[in-house]
Amino acid sequence: MRSWGGFLFLLFLNLGFSIASDAQSCPANLEAKCDGDSWEGEFFPEIPKIKYEGLKSTNPLSYKWYNADEEILGKKMKDWLRFSVAFWHTFRGTGADPFGAPTKQWPWEDGTNSVAMAKRRMRANFEFIDKLGVDTWCFHDRDIAPDGKTIAESNANLDEVVELAKELQGTRIKPLWGTAQLFMHPRYMHGAATSSEVGVYAYAAAQVKKAMEVTHYLGGENFVFWGGREGYQTLLNTDMQRELDHLARFLQAAVEHKKKIGFNGTLLIEPKPQEPTKHQYDWDAATSFAFLQKYDLVGEFKLNIECNHATLSGHSCYHELETARINGLLGNIDANTGDPQIGWDTDQFLTDVGEATLVMLSVIKNDGLAPGGFNFDAKLRRESTDVEDIFLAHISGMDTLARGLRNAAKLIEAGSLEELLRKRYQSFDSEIGALIEAGKADFATLEKKAMEWGEPSVASGKQELAEMIFQSAL
Ligand code: XLS
Ligand code: NI
Ligand code: NI
């Protein structure tokens, strides 16, 4: 049995937007330089730049599989993978859960949610990104800058932090994507674009407008819509048709605004079946595709597939990726995984090599994800409380996907799976098969053939062989 109350509370705490009430530390050796955003020390003085050292290395602060500039199937590893740091988990995650207070006491936090604190955190973010050696980051408007009392005040807070982010990004770093956080504030309790309150709908529009503008200003390459509260708790009080119409119009307005401001980034819908609502409208890739088709939004949106969301909807990540890919909708991946024994969005770093290999098979077939990439929508475990753990978690997530890429390339180069697949469908390479695939075989033609052929011969599906081939690449 799932306890939804527990889920909501868990989500609230685990998304990392709750601020520790206990004042956190600021190292004494920085003296007065600890206040405001005037922190002048290094945030990660013990951590060097992370480098590729290969499998022989025993240094945990090194890459064993991820060699950014190495070419695999004609593309550099960094271009296949396009790794990105999720600001909310990495810098706002506190380790709090429904049963306990925050466990993480990052030395740079002062326990406040001030703009000055937001700016100092931003400095930590860019030092982290630089040491990890990745090129992109992802953010929600409200996790990088505090909410104000009015929209104008919130926008001003955001502008101040974004200005610093712009400076710290330099020429190499940019957002993989930005998004508006439309699920935490109580005003969004009935949803944002699907709220029953028109005032909330307008407020959400104002927030998305601004978030899109700052993403554009920072050179962001995509903009995400995750409908955390776009759904329902009970259909008895919900006009589903009206809510879906509102959501579609909201997304249409986002397209219009994107064009108006000259933002060329891809708009992405991130499916998730539930949590925090009992039922989210963007349940999975197929449901989202149907929605986009119904409202004539195909061509304007792609999908951001999150592996943990895939398993929540009863699919594998590979299924969701392939559903998106074959429909031309694979835009980005929120790289994480769930726990096989836990039924909610645990947002763990993906460390399963088999799963990573399947993920990379899809990505290779998609010829990469650009302008999307892999966003580590993943958090440290509650019990991981050393600053170093933030690095270790990302390194292991990056190495796992890099290993998956190498394995997937091996499989593709060996060609045996491809050959198995080709053979399995070869009866459709016949004259009548070609007619069927060209849409020219009517039922009368097929009936005539079936009668002529009699009982068809049916070959083995070779499932065990397929699995054997797959295993041999891991
Ligand atoms: C929550 C989502 C969220 C989106 C961005 O489950 O994964 O973090 O990626 O709003
Ligand atoms: Ni996500
Ligand atoms: Ni998620």
Give the CATH number for residue 56.
Answer: 3.20.20.150
Do the domain assignments include residue 354?
A: yes
Do the domain assignments include residue 3?
A: no
Residue of minimum CA distance from atom 8 in ligand 1: 377
Is 230 close to ligand 1, i.e. is its CB under 6 Å away? no
pLDDT digits (tens, 9 = 90+) for 47-79: 999 999 999 999 999 999 999 999 999 999 999
Closest by alpha carbon to 151, among 189, 118, 180? 180
Is 179 close to ligand 1, i.e. is its CB under 6 Å away? yes
Same domain, residue pair 440 and 457: yes
For residue 375, give the ligand 1 atom closest to its CA.
9
At residue 343, the pLDDT reads 86
CA of 357 to the centre of ligand 1 (A): 23
For residue 276, which ligand has an atom nearest its CA? 1
Cα gap 324→287, rounded to integer Å: 11
Show which of 386, 413, 440 is a domain's final residue.
413
Catalytic residue among 140, 216, 315, 394: 140
Same domain, residue pair 426 and 306: no
CA of 74 to the centre of ligand 2 (A): 29
Is 306 close to ligand 1, i.e. is its CB under 6 Å away? yes
Do the domain assignments include residue 4?
A: no
Residues 6+ apart with CB under 8 A from 258: 212, 223, 265, 267
CA of 303 to the centre of ligand 3 (A): 14
Tokens 């610093």 sit on residue: 164
The domain of 465 spans: 416-472
Residue of minimum CA distance from atom 5 in ligand 1: 226
pLDDT < 50 stretches in the chain: 1-24, 28-29, 32
Same domain, residue pair 289 and 366: yes
How distant is the alpha carbon of residue 37 from its chain centre?
29
CA of 224 to the centre of ligand 2 (A): 9
Show which of 367, 385, 413 is a domain's final residue.
413
CA of 450 to the centre of ligand 3 (A): 49
Q: Does the reported pTM lie above 0.85?
A: yes
216 in active site: no
Do the domain assignments include residue 445?
A: yes
Do the domain assignments include residue 2?
A: no
Same domain, residue pair 296 and 339: yes
Overall residue count recorded for the chain in this entry: 474
Same domain, residue pair 408 and 426: no
* Number of domain units in the chain: 2
Same domain, residue pair 154 and 90: yes
For residue 334, give the ligand 1 atom closest to its CA.
9
Residue of minimum CA distance from atom 3 in ligand 1: 226
CA of 400 to the centre of ligand 3 (A): 19
CA of 63 to the centre of ligand 2 (A): 25
Residue of minimum CA distance from atom 2 in ligand 1: 226
At residue 41, the pLDDT reads 76
Same domain, residue pair 389 and 454: no
Same domain, residue pair 407 and 429: no
Same domain, residue pair 325 and 460: no
Ligand 1 pocket test: pick from 269, 334, 376 the residue with the most ligand atoms within 8 Å of its Cβ: 334
Do the domain assignments include residue 153?
A: yes
At residue 21, the pLDDT reads 37
Show which of 413, 431, 452 is a domain's final residue.
413
Residue of minimum CA distance from atom 4 in ligand 1: 226
Sign of CA dihedral 179, 185, 189, 194: negative
For residue 225, which ligand has an atom nearest its CA? 1
Is 377 close to ligand 1, i.e. is its CB under 6 Å away? yes
- Are 383 and 42 in contact by the 8 Å Cβ rule? The answer is no
Is 334 close to ligand 1, i.e. is its CB under 6 Å away? yes
Do the domain assignments include residue 7?
A: no
Partners of 308 in the beta sheet? none
Same domain, residue pair 313 and 235: yes
Residue of minimum CA distance from atom 7 in ligand 1: 377
Is 270 close to ligand 1, i.e. is its CB under 6 Å away? yes
Same domain, residue pair 115 and 67: yes
Cα gap 53→204, rounded to integer Å: 46
Residue 355 tokens, joined: 């799963």
- Taking each helix axis as running N to C, give the angle between helix 463-472 and helix 416-424, from 0 to 180 degrees, rounded to the nearest 10: 160
Same domain, residue pair 295 and 217: yes
Cα gap 189→196, rounded to integer Å: 10
Do the domain assignments include residue 1?
A: no
Is 226 close to ligand 1, i.e. is its CB under 6 Å away? yes
For residue 348, which ligand has an atom nearest its CA? 3
